[in-house]
């Protein structure tokens, strides 16, 4: 078996040999020394996923009023077969993520190729050189039973390993900024003890040089304003001691647009961590509420989206009502309530749980089953029914399939013995469903379809004309709108062309 990392586009990148790794470490020292001579501090970003890679580029792009960069950024990604490909790809100035935001490729090219303030590496040695480490390790919640989030837990094994690596390598003056969404209590009860233990093993006096740890959570929206959602957005932060808070404030002030979006300092990292998980629990609960009303609307002939629009006109109290859809996906709303619920018992030893938040997760996780119900209500037995699914990412105009509700939909449609073909212009491969081929061209999935599901509101799908869809299908399929992607005018066109149209919360369609 070849020792290579395969990128989503199929290109192979050899995992570095021992000799290549040694040469890379020498190069890291050389680059760092050159950058320090230019007056720049050194930042290492731990983890180059959907948040880390763009955060690294934003930090590398930050400059003073004269255009002088504050930092040089080493982005670190382990040399695993799954992820190493990101390192050589980034080092050509190409982002490892797909997005509709034109600033994503621009900022990567600018920082890697033009400014030369950002470079990726697979060598953990890089942490010995850093003044700041931004932690963007992926940390998920495990939900062992579908629809039973109350049984969920957080496996901190890999996160702890990452923190131990930092404790073994960073210099005492280095600030560790945890950006990963973590269970409340993680910085104080997990990160701090590990760093103190490793510092002590190295002979570092933790009374004189206590670990510098801060927490500041991102609010990344990997769509059309991907970069801006990191740089031009409000930040909450805190630290485990006054020096950590001071260094964190300085770092965030240098990197982010704090003039228009001022920082919010909380009293402790527990508070900052709680803010992130509570923020996303609120949104998850908001969405879960709308699904109950969407079902009600379908049964009494009401368009829930028009009702929602009417309610949202009440500014200041109701204008943030969210919408029902195929389901809730992504890396935040699906897990953050579970992280907080788990931390109550496992990190703080408290009784009880976050019942409302957890019930919302259960509603949202099972939400795709409602779309299955809509299809079955119209067609009955789905054995050998051909279904074209438009959109497999969790959000419009992005290529992120993590916890996508389309995964649940496809899984349950297959259990009904339906034949499902999937299309998404932003997704080259689907790691969570590796046996499912994702086409980028609708001409590969629509022909012969009995059902067309508008699952994700990618711009490409919203502009499709009904006649165009039916000409490609060669059939008169059932059209399913999962979240108000079709206007009443387009619905009327589909019906005039002989199609049935149904949708989540679309009770007004007759």
pLDDT at site 176: 98
From first to last of the 510 residues of the chain, give the pLDDT tens digit: 689 999 988 899 999 999 999 999 999 999 999 999 999 999 999 999 989 999 999 999 999 999 999 999 999 999 999 999 999 999 999 999 988 899 999 999 999 999 999 999 999 999 999 999 999 998 889 999 999 999 999 999 999 999 999 999 999 999 999 999 999 999 999 999 999 999 999 999 999 999 999 999 989 888 889 999 999 999 999 999 999 999 999 999 999 999 999 999 999 999 999 999 999 999 999 999 999 999 999 999 999 999 999 999 999 999 999 999 999 988 788 999 999 999 999 999 999 999 999 999 999 999 999 999 999 999 999 999 999 999 999 989 888 898 999 999 999 999 999 999 999 999 988 989 999 999 999 999 999 999 999 999 999 999 999 999 999 999 999 999 999 999 999 999 999 999 999 999 999 998
For domain 4-268, say whether CATH 3.40.50.720 is its number: yes
Classify residue 47 as exposed, middle or buried by CB count within 10 Å of its CB (0-12, 13-18, 19+).
buried
At the topology level of CATH, where does 300-327+367-503 sit? Rossmann fold (3.40.50)
Torsion over CA: 58, 59, 65, 67 (sign): negative
Reduced 3-state DSSP string for 332-379: CCCCHHHHHHHHHHHCCCCCCCCHHHHHHHHHHHCCHHHHHHHHHHHH
pLDDT at site 1: 64
Q: Which ranges constitute the DSSP H helices of 301-335?
A: 304-312
> In whole angstroms, what is the distance from residue 350 CA to residue 184 CA?
13
Question: Which of 199, 169, 6, 191 minimizes the C-alpha distance to 76?
Answer: 169
3-state secondary structure of 76: strand
Cα(first)–Cα(last) distance of the chain, in Å? Answer: 57
Residue 290 — φ and ψ, nearest 5°? -70, -30
> What six digits make up the tokens of 425?
């212009």
Segments making up each domain of the chain, as ranges: 4-268, 300-327+367-503
Domains 4-268 and 300-327+367-503 share a fold: yes
pLDDT at site 399: 86
Classify residue 36 as exposed, middle or buried by CB count within 10 Å of its CB (0-12, 13-18, 19+).
middle
């Amino acid at each position: 078996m070849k020792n290579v990392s395969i990128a989503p586009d199929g290109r192979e990148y050899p995992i570095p040999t021992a000799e290549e790794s040694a040469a890379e470490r020498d190069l890291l020292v050389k680059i760092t020394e050159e950058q320090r001579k230019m007056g720049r501090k050194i930042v290492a970003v731990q983890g180059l996923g959907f948040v880390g890679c763009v955060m690294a580029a934003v930090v590398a792009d930050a400059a003073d009023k004269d255009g002088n960069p504050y930092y040089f950024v080493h982005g670190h990604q382990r040399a695993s077969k799954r992820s190493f490909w990101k390192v050589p790809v980034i080092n050509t100035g190409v982002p490892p993520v797909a997005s509709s935001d034109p600033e994503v490729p621009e900022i990567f090219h600018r920082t890697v190729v033009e400014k030369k303030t950002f470079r990726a590496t697979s060598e953990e040695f890089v942490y010995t050189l850093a003044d700041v480490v931004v932690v963007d390790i992926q940390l998920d919640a495990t939900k062992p039973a579908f629809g039973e989030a109350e049984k969920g837990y957080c496996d901190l094994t890999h996160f702890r390993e990452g923190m131990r690596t930092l404790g073994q390598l960073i210099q005492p003056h280095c600030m560790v900024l945890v950006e990963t969404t973590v269970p409340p209590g993680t910085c104080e009860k997990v990160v701090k003890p590990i760093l103190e233990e490793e510092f002590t093993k190295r002979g570092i006096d933790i009374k004189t040089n206590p670990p510098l740890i801060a927490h500041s959570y991102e609010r990344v929206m990997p769509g059309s304003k991907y970069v801006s959602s990191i740089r031009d957005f409000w930040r909450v932060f805190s630290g485990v001691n006054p020096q950590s808070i001071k260094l964190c404030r300085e770092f965030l002030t240098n990197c982010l647009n704090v003039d228009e979006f001022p920082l919010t300092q909380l009293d402790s990292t527990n508070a900052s961590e709680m803010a992130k998980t509570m923020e996303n629990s609120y949104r998850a609960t908001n969405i879960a509420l709308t699904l109950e009303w969407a079902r009600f609307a379908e049964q009494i002939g009401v368009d829930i989206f028009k009702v929602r629009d009417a309610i949202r006109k009440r500014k200041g109290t109701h204008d943030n009502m969210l919408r029902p859809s195929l389901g809730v996906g992504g890396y935040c709303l699906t897990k953050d309530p579970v992280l907080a619920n788990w931390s109550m018992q496992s990190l703080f030893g408290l009784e009880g749980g976050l019942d409302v938040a957890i019930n919302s997760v259960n509603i949202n996780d099972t939400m795709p089953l409602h779309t299955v119900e809509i299809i079955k209500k119209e067609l009955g037995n789905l054995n050998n029914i051909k279904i074209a699914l438009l959109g497999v990412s969790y959000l419009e105009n992005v290529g992120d399939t993590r916890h996508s509700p389309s995964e649940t939909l496809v899984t349950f449609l297959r259990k009904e013995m339906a034949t499902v073909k999937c299309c998404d212009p932003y997704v080259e491969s689907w790691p969570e469903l590796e046996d499912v081929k994702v086409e980028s061209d609708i001409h590969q999935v629509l022909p012969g379809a009995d059902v067309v599901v508008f699952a994700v509101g990618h711009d490409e799908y919203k502009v499709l004309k009904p006649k165009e869809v039916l000409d490609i299908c060669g059939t008169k399929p059932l059209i399913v709108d999962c979240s108000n992607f079709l206007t009443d005018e387009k619905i009327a066109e589909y019906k005039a062309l002989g199609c049935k149209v149904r949708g989540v919360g679309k009770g007004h369609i007759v």
